[in-house]
């Protein structure tokens, strides 16, 4: 069943974001015309098939193109990859994903049952993650429109076959979804468990990070930013929809981003030998690592999720205090995971606001003056990370660590931690947690 009143509605919405003809796409191809001629010929043919309405042929031709580009993107260090390959990957992903979405929602297409909206979204996300934007970053607009097809589905039913079905937009479904979204991320008993975890941690009152109630910009700047002093700010994000009118829950996150593909860190911490990353949908991540009983830890960590999913970006806002910086650029990252996720003791070069939206985290902070007692790694990639396991330090190998001075606290929902540049910090989630960090200069 199609959720659109007109079977061609999604197709129209897709095409409105793209050039009117294959010749318009050719302009984009010219931007990357230093690719091999045989590749460009097949890519041009793929685009022509799309505009001729031969979507199956377009998909078939896109597969070898993307395989070829994938090899180029995964040869050598990522920073050394020529942007040409990334632009080409973006372009082909646009053609393939658009074709998949159109076929999946057109009941007249013979090929409909072999494609799904979820497949299209995955293709778009791979283009966003691996590609470099062209055509005014058209993939962001396409995936938003296509995702509306899945937002009508009752996301609490994990057994629904979403590959080929979208449900009718009727009032009963809207009511069911609305009730589902009103569920909190944690039950009362789970909140009690989290409180118990907090109680187990004895915060030294003499070392506790100071809390202050929504200070003025002038006071924050003079007292904390200019002095390089960590502080927890309270009552500064109560207006966020994520904290009020659209409170984040597992169901809400599934609804807005469940079918989006993201990189998940797998392993206890990034300093361990068995640490790795894997691309998966947020639905799979929630099912396996948050609701499931995986032996390994999975963590959506330091990911620019809000650039990828503007629907979630609309639920938060940049803290006013970031305007005290020298640049309008603010790096916004998501941190989403189960109880026990850890960010090893490390420091960052920029000012940082770590905002806790869901769940609580234990925080420990060291001043840069303690560097010599924190034993940074001597390799370039990890020089900002301590060799010490902050929870179980090896006193023989790192004898000075226990003498290092630190401050600590438990960061709770609705609170915002200011971490000055170069300050070392260790962070551990005490229960299911979603945090947002804002890095600024």
Strands 331-337, 298-303: parallel, antiparallel or unpaired by DSSP?
Answer: antiparallel
Burial of 357 per CB tally in 10 Å (0-12, 13-18, 19+): buried
- According to DSSP, the residues that pair with 434 across neighbouring strands are 336, 358
- Has residue 180 been placed in a domain? no
pLDDT recorded at residue 185: 55
Strands 276-281, 331-337: parallel, antiparallel or unpaired by DSSP?
Answer: unpaired
pLDDT recorded at residue 2: 39
- Has residue 207 been placed in a domain? yes
Domain end point (choices 147, 174, 201) = 174
Domain end point (choices 144, 174, 204) = 174
The runs of H, that is alpha helices, within 201-239 are 217-220
The residue with tokens 């700010």 is 233
The set of residues, in sequence order, having a beta carbon less than 8 Å from that of 148 and lying 6+ positions away, is none
Do 424 and 305 share a structural domain? yes
Do 71 and 150 share a structural domain? yes
Number of domains in the chain: 2
- Has residue 303 been placed in a domain? yes
Element (H or E) spanning 120, and its range? Answer: helix 117-130
Element (H or E) spanning 254, and its range? Answer: helix 250-257
The runs of H, that is alpha helices, within 258-339 are 282-285, 305-308, 310-313
CA distance 358 to 242: 9
Q: Are 368 and 422 in contact (CB under 8 A)?
A: yes
Q: Are 386 and 346 in contact (CB under 8 A)?
A: yes
- Has residue 26 been placed in a domain? yes
Do 118 and 222 share a structural domain? no
Instruction: pLDDT tens for the chain, 441 residues: list them.
Output: 334 444 478 888 899 999 988 877 877 666 666 778 888 899 999 999 999 999 999 999 999 999 999 999 998 888 889 888 999 999 999 999 999 999 987 766 555 555 688 899 999 999 999 999 999 999 999 999 888 766 554 444 444 443 333 333 333 333 333 333 344 555 556 665 666 566 667 888 999 999 999 999 999 999 999 999 999 999 999 999 999 999 999 999 999 999 999 999 998 777 777 789 999 999 999 999 999 877 889 999 999 999 999 999 999 999 999 999 877 789 999 999 999 999 999 999 999 999 999 999 999 999 999 999 999 998 877 899 999 999 999 999 999 999 999 999 999 999 999 999 999 999 999 999 999 999 999
Do 119 and 208 share a structural domain? no
- According to DSSP, the residues that pair with 337 across neighbouring strands are 433
With CA atoms as reference, report the closest residue to 232 among 375, 417, 432: 417
- Has residue 179 been placed in a domain? no
- Has residue 47 been placed in a domain? yes
CA distance 355 to 318: 10
Do 219 and 124 share a structural domain? no
Strands 231-234, 211-213: parallel, antiparallel or unpaired by DSSP?
Answer: parallel
Do 348 and 270 share a structural domain? yes
The set of residues, in sequence order, having a beta carbon less than 8 Å from that of 97 and lying 6+ positions away, is 120, 121, 123, 124, 127, 139, 142, 143, 146
Q: What's the CATH code of the domain at 311? A: 2.60.120.650
pLDDT recorded at residue 174: 34
Q: Are 375 and 424 in contact (CB under 8 A)?
A: no
Backbone angles phi, psi at 113, to 5 degrees: -70, -10
With CA atoms as reference, report the closest residue to 32 among 79, 89, 99, 95: 89
Range of the domain at 259: 189-440
Do 245 and 168 share a structural domain? no
- Has residue 247 been placed in a domain? yes
Burial of 12 per CB tally in 10 Å (0-12, 13-18, 19+): exposed
pLDDT recorded at residue 269: 75
Do 124 and 74 share a structural domain? yes
Do 15 and 135 share a structural domain? yes
- Has residue 154 been placed in a domain? yes
CA distance 247 to 243: 5
The structure tokens listed for 224 are 């904390």
Do 206 and 154 share a structural domain? no
Do 262 and 133 share a structural domain? no
The set of residues, in sequence order, having a beta carbon less than 8 Å from that of 9 and lying 6+ positions away, is none
- pTM recorded for the entire structure: 0.83
pLDDT recorded at residue 382: 87
Do 122 and 193 share a structural domain? no
Domain end point (choices 131, 146, 174) = 174
């Amino acid at each position: 069943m199609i959720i659109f009143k007109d079977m061609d509605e999604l197709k129209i919405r897709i095409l409105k974001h793209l050039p009117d003809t294959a010749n318009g796409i050719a302009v984009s191809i010219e931007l990357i015309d230093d690719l091999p001629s045989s590749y460009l010929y097949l890519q041009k043919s793929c685009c022509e098939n799309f505009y001729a309405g031969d979507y199956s042929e377009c998909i078939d031709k896109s597969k070898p193109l993307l395989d070829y580009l994938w090899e180029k993107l995964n040869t050598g260090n990522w920073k050394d990859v020529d942007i040409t390959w990334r632009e080409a990957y973006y372009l082909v992903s646009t053609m393939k994903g658009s074709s998949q979405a159109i076929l999946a929602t057109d009941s007249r297409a013979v090929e409909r049952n072999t494609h799904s909206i979820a497949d299209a979204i995955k293709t778009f996300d791979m283009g966003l993650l691996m590609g470099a934007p062209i055509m005014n970053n058209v993939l962001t607009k396409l995936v938003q429109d296509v995702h509306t097809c899945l937002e009508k589905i009752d996301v609490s039913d994990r057994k629904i076959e979403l590959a080929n079905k979208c449900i009718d937009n009727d009032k009963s479904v809207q009511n069911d979804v609305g009730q589902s979204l009103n569920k909190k991320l944690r039950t009362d008993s789970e909140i009690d468990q989290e409180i118990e975890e907090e109680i187990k941690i004895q915060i030294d009152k003499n070392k506790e990070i100071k809390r202050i109630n929504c200070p003025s910009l002038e006071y924050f700047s003079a007292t904390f930013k200019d002095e390089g002093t960590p502080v927890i700010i309270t009552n500064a994000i109560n207006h966020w929809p994520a904290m009020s009118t659209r409170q984040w829950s597992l169901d809400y996150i599934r609804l807005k981003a469940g079918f989006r593909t993201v990189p998940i860190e797998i392993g206890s911490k990034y300093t361990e030998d068995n640490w790795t990353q894997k691309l998966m949908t947020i639905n799979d991540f929630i099912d396996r690592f948050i609701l499931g009983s995986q032996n390994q830890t999975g963590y959506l960590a330091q990911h620019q999720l809000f650039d990828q999913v503007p629907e979630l970006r609309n639920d938060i806002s940049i803290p006013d205090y970031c305007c005290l910086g020298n640049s309008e650029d603010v790096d916004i990252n998501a941190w989403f995971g189960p109880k026990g996720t850890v960010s090893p003791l490390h420091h960052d070069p920029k000012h940082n606001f770590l905002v806790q939206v869901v769940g609580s985290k234990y925080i420990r902070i060291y001043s840069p003056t303690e560097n010599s007692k924190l034993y940074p790694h001597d390799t370039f990639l990890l020089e900002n990370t301590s060799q010490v396991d902050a929870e179980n330090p090896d006193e023989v190998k790192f004898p000075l660590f226990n003498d290092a001075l630190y401050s600590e606290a438990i960061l709770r929902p609705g609170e915002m931690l200011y971490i000055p540049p170069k300050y070392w910090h260790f962070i551990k989630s005490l229960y299911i947690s979603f945090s947002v960090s804002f890095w600024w200069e």
